[in-house]
Amino acid sequence: MNQCPLKISLIGISQTIPTELNNNKIAMFEILVNDFAIQACNFIVKIVYPYLKPRFKYTKETIQLQESLIFIDGIIEIIDNDLYVYAKEINNVSIPTKNTLNNKKQEIPISLKSTRSKLLSAHQNIKSNSDI
């Protein structure tokens, strides 16, 4: 058993949607993490979090299978060769797949008042310049 908790920050793609675990007031989902530091490898990390706390209530509705990029801060443990992270913070961003984008051929309205809209505007400019 690890006597000193290891704090970790992860970014990964959701592989499962959050599910409750036996009414223990916790939920779990899995993310795929790619590590390119030494050699390219992929691994699955099980994320456990107290889903009833107000800051986590949104996760059950917003995390989508393989369409959510998840940002996690928490404590990591290895149990029976599985990686677990008890999440202290969870944020996610929707990353639509090509199929989703093809089904929604709508232009995204851009309001230059938010950071996200500025980033979307920059992304659209880069995409339109690369198509030339």
- Residue 6 pLDDT > 70: yes
User: How does pLDDT run across 66-125, given as a tens digit for each residue?
Assistant: 888 899 999 999 888 889 999 999 998 888 766 555 555 555 444 445 666 767 777 777
The domain defined by 6-94 folds into: OB fold (Dihydrolipoamide Acetyltransferase, E2P) (2.40.50)
The label of the residue with tokens 């709508």 reads 106
Alpha-carbon distance of 89 to 72, in angstroms, equals: 6
Give, as one character, the DSSP assignment of residue 17. -
Residue 60: pLDDT band with limits 50, 70, 90: confident
Q: Closest Cα to residue 65, out of 29, 25, 101, 34?
A: 29
pTM higher than 0.95, yes or no? no
Average pLDDT along the chain: 79
Pair 32, 12: CB distance under 8 Å: yes
Domain extents for the chain? 6-94, 98-130
